[in-house]
Amino acid sequence: MNKIDLQIQSTASDGKYAPAKLVEMAKENGLDTISITDHDTVGGVKEAADKGRELDIRVIPGIEMSVHLDKKELHILGYGIDIENLRLLDNLAHFQDDRIRRMRRIVENLQKIGFKITFEDVLKQAKGTMARPHVAMAAMANPENKPLLVGINSVHDFIENYLVPGKPGYADREYVPAKEAIELIHGAGGVAVWSHPAIHFDNFDQLEEALQKMISFNIDGLEAFSPSHTKENAEKLLELAKKYELIFTAGSDFHQETPNRETPDGQRPAQTVGDFDTFGYNTDSVIPELERIIRKRNEITH
């Protein structure tokens, strides 16, 4: 098991476990440093940090922001952010309002094709930020929807069949431009890292072209190690980090246990905190390098 995990989602967004429970899992699994990186919210950070102090686990304040780069959805991680930064919080509040509007549209779309589901059903499933998994759980919890769930065995199956672009339940949402997200993270004293980059592009030429744009926006690093990445992906990302003098990070992207799910290339999602492969590469430099950039950023913002 790894000693660090810099991408974990809690009940503050679309994860299964409360922030404090995730810290307990980190302790049980032998980790010493984690980051709770919920989608477009810092709502779980304080609870995790409090539990971290109790259990002697370092919790780096984090977030995962949904962004657009040339109309493509990407995610950017923010580390070491001031979770009380007013500009950041104002923007996150706007994003949350848009998520709510999107969830209402998704529910309406599902109702049109026969699903028995209400916005209140989704709200009951979400303990924090509402997301597509909460819609899926609400729909699957109602026995009246059984005829529409043939072949649907998991939340992931539901999303893939109903809630992705081109499917009947899908509704678009507002995305912050990548440049703006990076500026928000930096303005809050944080470090901006491109989350699981390899999953978004068909080849590394396209990825590198996008990375060059990210660099023009002052991105700080790349997430090299993730359950979404093969060994070849990780090695190429390490090469790019070295080439462009960026830091690299590592995280499980753990949301919940999904024992029967694999990605098309055979990768298996994390089943617990700290569950990702580094393919024999040493990650001892990850936290010191991240700390170095956080200190540098704080010197600029204070």
- 268 closest CA partner among 222, 235, 230, 237: 230
Map tokens 């090299």 to a residue. 224
One domain, residues 183 and 66: yes
The pLDDT tens digits for 235-294 are 999 999 999 999 999 999 999 888 665 655 556 889 999 999 999 999 999 999 999 999
Residue 195 pLDDT > 80: yes
The verdict on residue 167 lying in a domain is no
One domain, residues 54 and 141: no
Q: What does the pLDDT read at residue 296?
A: 87
One domain, residues 72 and 50: yes
Residue range of the domain that includes 12 = 4-92+178-301
Q: What does the pLDDT read at residue 262?
A: 61
Residues in Cβ contact with 238 at an 8 Å cutoff, skipping those fewer than 6 apart = 224, 248, 281
Q: What does the pLDDT read at residue 300?
A: 72
The verdict on residue 173 lying in a domain is no
Q: What does the pLDDT read at residue 275?
A: 95
Residue 186 pLDDT > 90: yes
Give the mean pLDDT of 187-199. 97
Distance CA 252, CA 21 (A): 16
Whichever domain contains 240, its CATH number is: 3.20.20.140
CB 25 within 8 A of CB 1: no
Question: Exposed, middle or buried by CB within 10 Å (0-12, 13-18, 19+), for 214?
Answer: buried
Q: What does the pLDDT read at residue 261?
A: 59
Residue 299 pLDDT > 80: no
Residues in Cβ contact with 274 at an 8 Å cutoff, skipping those fewer than 6 apart = 1, 2, 3, 4, 5, 26, 29, 30, 31, 34, 252
Residue 93: both structure tokens together: 């509040």
One domain, residues 85 and 104: no
Q: Answer with the one of 137, 162, 187 that is the final residue of a domain.
A: 162
Q: What does the pLDDT read at residue 60?
A: 98
The pLDDT tens digits for 33-75 are 999 999 999 999 999 999 999 999 999 999 999 999 998 999 9
Whichever domain contains 134, its CATH number is: 1.10.150
Residue 301 pLDDT > 80: no
- Identity of the residue numbered 106: I
Q: What does the pLDDT read at residue 126?
A: 87
Supply the pTM of this predicted model. 0.91
Distance CA 143, CA 221 (A): 46
With H, G, I as helix, E, B as strand and everything else as coil, classify residue 168. coil
Distance CA 74, CA 238 (A): 19
The verdict on residue 220 lying in a domain is yes
Q: In DSSP terms, which residues pair with 191 in a beta bridge?
A: 79
The pLDDT tens digits for 97-146 are 998 999 999 999 999 999 999 999 999 998 777 889 999 999 999 999 99
One domain, residues 295 and 217: yes
